[in-house]
Chain A
Amino acid sequence: MNVEFANIFIRSAVEVFQKEVRITLSRQSLLKKNAPVPGLPVSIVLGITGYLRGQVVYSMDENFAYSIAHAMLPNKLPAEIKKLTNSAVSEIANIITGQASIALAGEKMKIELTPPAVFSGKEMQVDFLSIPTIALRLISEIGVLEINIALAESEEA
């Protein structure tokens, strides 16, 4: 696992949160794990294929998720925001990963993302890949965002 991947995701998450959620994220911790198993109750899983392959798993608590949706839908009522929370956190995960993919792909490579899948609490039954993972924790006034980056170069690349 290339540690530069972590810096790319930090830059992308900070920028996207500034623009879309109007919240400042700062780096809290970085640890290494054996798989991208999330540590918080709401998780968003994206698969990556192409020049890099693996998974990126975002994780947060319910209030953090609601705050993202609220910031993205400033004029909506709470019931409507609740209904769109999964869509909001999926889209934020998609945008952060998409932005990061621009730097990861560079001039010549291509990386494909799968559509994000959201899981909450105990219903989580996901097969996480056993790939060396960097778990980033970013902190803000609305709570903690965890990003588990499990990426390896494809064998054919």
Chain B
Amino acid sequence: MHTGMIVDDASIMRLRLREILETEFKIVAEAENGGDALRLYDESRPEFITLDITMPKVNGLAALQELLAKDPAAKVVIVSAVGQKQIVFDAISMGAKDFIIKPFEHERVLKSVRRLFA
């Protein structure tokens, strides 16, 4: 089973993403900001990450950049409400594999993560 990490500052969103993803994947870590995400990525080495953008301390785009500098093969799916054209463009140019705009359907999340391992 592929392993993942959920990064979102809202505990309710981490809970919901965990419930959706754990039907097919194993969640090995959760983080509530970009700084914790970077630290936990080294500790638990998840095979994929769902990453929110609007978060305290280190935001998602800054974390994405640092994460991919450390590990260019990291598989990151952005899950964020701020799906502005320019921000989606920035995230995908930096190396995010997909951009899911909240509110999302469960199947949209599962499809996106499945595609990372297809």
Interface residues of A (CB under 8 A from B): 16, 19-20, 69, 72-73, 84, 87-88, 90-91, 94-95, 97-99, 101-102, 105-115
Contact = CB atoms under 8 A, between A and B. Distances in A.
14 contacts: A16-B103, A72-B12, A88-B12, A94-B10, A94-B81, A98-B82, A101-B82, A102-B85, A105-B86, A110-B84, A113-B54, A114-B54, A115-B9, A115-B54
Given A97-B81, A114-B54, A115-B56, A109 B12 contact: no
Contacts of A88: 12
Sorted nearest first, the 5 A-B pairs with minimum C-beta distance are: A98-B81, A105-B84, A87-B12, A91-B10, A95-B81
A88 B55 CA distance: 15
B50 interface: no
A99 B82 CA distance: 6
B87 interface: yes
Contacts, number: 72
| Interface range, B side | 20 to 34
B80 A98 contact: yes
Contacts of A114: 54
Contact of A90 (B10, B84, B87): B10
B112 interface: no
Nearest to B105: A19
Contacts of B103: 16, 19-20, 95
| Most B C-beta atoms less than 10 A away, residue of A20, A88, A94, A109 | A94
B56 A84 contact: no
Contacts of A98: 54, 80-83, 101-102
Interface string B1-45: 000000001111101100000000000000000000000000000
| Most A C-beta atoms less than 10 A away, residue of B11, B13, B84, B87 | B84
A49 B13 CA distance: 24
Contact of A102 (B9, B15, B84): B84
Given A95-B81, A95-B103, A115-B56, A73 B86 contact: no
